Structure 1
């Protein structure tokens, strides 16, 4: 997980610590505090992935119920909306490092409790829900504090690196988690995960600076300004709308693989294709393009993101389907420039809250997109649902992009 590093971010284009040490991703890693944030992020990410997998295996072994096993996965997403709503006001109330370390320690305690033999299934699910409940607070505070650690374009590249790790870490984490479970069993894997969360807390505690929270009266007084600002609403819409449709082929990967006769191997490839495109696109844009070029990509890439999914109307074989999903993943590069616009749109004292809302809304809308895709597939074949998501998503993304274009570039005061 993460934290901060200078007293106040400079204006657009201001040189921060990273800007003085070089350019691109190398400059970001030159900042000592970001290295600590990055290491903690890797530890907590792997912990979440392994805990999710180990809990599902444990629940299946204890109950034999596919429904409860699926719930063990889903419960990692379901509390996001509640956590984002209830905990967002806390994001700017306390020093960032203290909040991040506290979230990590709470996760360590919850996962350690899951590893205790004899814990009832209901308690296991409740403990998992509690770790998910604090996730949007943690993610929002980390994103806001990154604006203190990194200035200007380095903030955008830092956020990009954390996203790249999240995309790659899910694939590697599930693979490594499967090997770990085969070697030591789910309870031991959960105990190791708890140790990982504790290590993340230690890295943040000793590798980052503590900073005073923003002025409390400004934070409380500006609470209503965040959703009321048209520019912020437009940017949140652009952040949330394209992913709603982007996740539909992931939700229907297994049914579509069965439809075209590729089985479990095809399911795995279909699930990996979009993250692969997202990692390749974001890494290339972050390394090769400057800030202005990345910002020019935001609106066209957001609109084009769902469009390749329309190709599923022709029920493509595995290779063309993978190509369409990789193209969709490549368009996720729009998030790079969008991050900078969003950071510029909110004042420092509301950043924690703003980032918490963004994170919680993104996870919630993706969950809704998956649920809607699954429900539609009860009435229509998977390829038609994915194609419909591509067509409708392109229209909705275009509307969201138009709304951003129509809103003035301003900042909440």
Structure 2
């Protein structure tokens, strides 16, 4: 599972000041339409969702293409791994350093401009004979710009989906993102057999053009967010917005607790990171690794849909702490060294529970953030999540070398449950202040 905060994190952003004033109890809808019909009724969300879907497919293809292209040029696994890592790592800084741009400029225009620049840069990356250092530099810029795009999208979503629709929209985004990930597992390599890596990069460049056109045509023009005198930093370096966002989160017990719950997902993603050695220990077949890696995303699809479809809106904020703790329970059973199919079922269950609470925690976090600060605050949160995922994946790999992959998964479940209990208590304590 790849956790995302707020929006293109994308996406979560904001209803209005009145929505922020009551983050934990979204207004119930008078009807209970199906999940898809509810969110896709609005043209703006359809455009935001469609642009993100096209870009996500292109990005997954580009990641694979770059890894293959660099390996063909260098015959070095290290260079190939480095370039693949560069498709993620710059976003660690991008959210903090550049997320504030989404609070300074008109968000639709900012997203379109970023898409156009990324189109040009990715097209340049497809040029034959391009020095590897130049390719890496272009890639870093592309990923940094993606953080800006994500922050702007995250700040637009609540405006496109008021009330309870917002959570449903986040669930749809989560389902879509995990479906794209599953598709990449299943067909990405086969697609690169059919087309050359450079052609795949050009396809990715084309997806940015499609995204820009869809956003320009389907998202209404809005002015830049209005900022009060004490928050207006438009004349200072944008990095100050990130610093201010960190202070804002730290000073707010409710958002601190919610962010802790979201970051906890990084612990529950450890099993996916060690799927290969786990499969080798349980059933040493290539299909075993694929099934285990797909288990968490598949569970995420189920959890995101079921939580929004079947749990009443007034209960969701009360259940996130409980679900965060329960998400670790299936992982504990891995200490018994179950077989492949039992392990897959356990990982699916954990993925479903963790995604169910995470989507709701994201929505509450964004609602509690004023519109004028959403870009920078969501950008900081997204960077924290990426850093947490990178750290837990690394530690999980190290631990698996010492105590074995099955025991490592069980440890991840134990640690996750303990941290979840602490975060849930913090949220329970802060929630009355969040709801007024």
Are 1:157 and 2:184 an aligned pair? Answer: no
* 1:261 aligns with one of 283, 292, 297: 283
Name the structure 2 match of 1:387.
410
Consecutive unaligned residues in structure 2, runs of 5 or more? 1-7, 234-243
Distance 1:257 1:215 in 2: 53
Name the structure 2 match of 1:355.
378
Are residues 204 and 219 of structure 1, via their aligned partners in 2, closer, same or farther at CA, if it must alter by over 3 Å?
farther
Name the structure 2 match of 1:98.
109
Name the structure 2 match of 1:316.
338
Distance 2:15 2:316 in 1: 27
Deviates more, 1:146-155 or 1:121-130: 121-130
Name the structure 2 match of 1:37.
48
Distance 1:20 1:387 in 2: 42
Distance 2:63 2:108 in 1: 25
Are residues 278 and 6 of structure 1, via their aligned partners in 2, closer, same or farther at CA, if it must alter by over 3 Å?
closer
Q: Secondary structure at the match of 1:91?
A: helix
Cα deviation, residue 194, structure 1 = 0.4
* 1:225 aligns with one of 248, 253, 256: 248
Distance 1:204 1:409 in 2: 38
Name the structure 2 match of 1:248.
270
Distance 2:432 2:189 in 1: 47
Distance 2:312 2:218 in 1: 29
Offset from partner CA, 1:16-64 (integer Å, 9 cap, x none): 9x98995643121100111111110111110110110110111111111
- Matched-pair contact (CA < 8 Å) for 1:92–1:351: yes
Distance 1:7 1:231 in 2: 18
Distance 1:109 1:173 in 2: 24
Are 1:169 and 2:191 an aligned pair? Answer: no
Distance 1:26 1:408 in 2: 31
Offset from partner CA, 1:153-195 (integer Å, 9 cap, x none): 1111111111111111111134443233111210011101100
Deviates more, 1:90-99 or 1:167-176: 167-176
Are 1:112 and 2:123 an aligned pair? Answer: yes
**Structure 1-normalised TM-score?**
0.92
Distance 1:388 1:6 in 2: 36
Distance 1:206 1:390 in 2: 45
Distance 1:158 1:114 in 2: 34
- Matched-pair contact (CA < 8 Å) for 2:38–2:165: yes
5 Å matches for 1:55-134? 55-134=66-145
Are residues 6 and 87 of structure 1, via their aligned partners in 2, closer, same or farther at CA, if it must alter by over 3 Å?
closer
Are residues 201 and 92 of structure 1, via their aligned partners in 2, closer, same or farther at CA, if it must alter by over 3 Å?
same
Name the structure 1 match of 2:304.
282
Are 1:377 and 2:400 an aligned pair? Answer: yes
Cα deviation, residue 10, structure 1 = 5.0
Consecutive unaligned residues in structure 1, runs of 5 or more? none
Distance 2:403 2:99 in 1: 38
Name the structure 2 match of 1:402.
425
- Matched-pair contact (CA < 8 Å) for 1:5–1:209: no
Distance 2:280 2:184 in 1: 25
Are residues 197 and 177 of structure 1, via their aligned partners in 2, closer, same or farther at CA, if it must alter by over 3 Å?
farther
Distance 2:15 2:389 in 1: 34
- Matched-pair contact (CA < 8 Å) for 1:92–1:219: no
Cα deviation, residue 325, structure 1 = 0.2
Superposed CA RMSD: 2.6
- Matched-pair contact (CA < 8 Å) for 1:34–1:149: yes
Q: Secondary structure at the match of 2:403?
A: coil
Higher relative contact order (CA 8 A, sep 6+): 2
Are residues 4 and 294 of structure 1, via their aligned partners in 2, closer, same or farther at CA, if it must alter by over 3 Å?
closer
Name the structure 2 match of 1:367.
390
Cα deviation, residue 234, structure 1 = 1.3
- Matched-pair contact (CA < 8 Å) for 2:116–2:212: yes
Name the structure 2 match of 1:191.
202
Are residues 110 and 22 of structure 1, via their aligned partners in 2, closer, same or farther at CA, if it must alter by over 3 Å?
same
Cα deviation, residue 122, structure 1 = 2.4
Count of aligned pairs between the two proteins? 411
Deviates more, 1:357-366 or 1:33-42: 357-366
Distance 1:21 1:37 in 2: 23
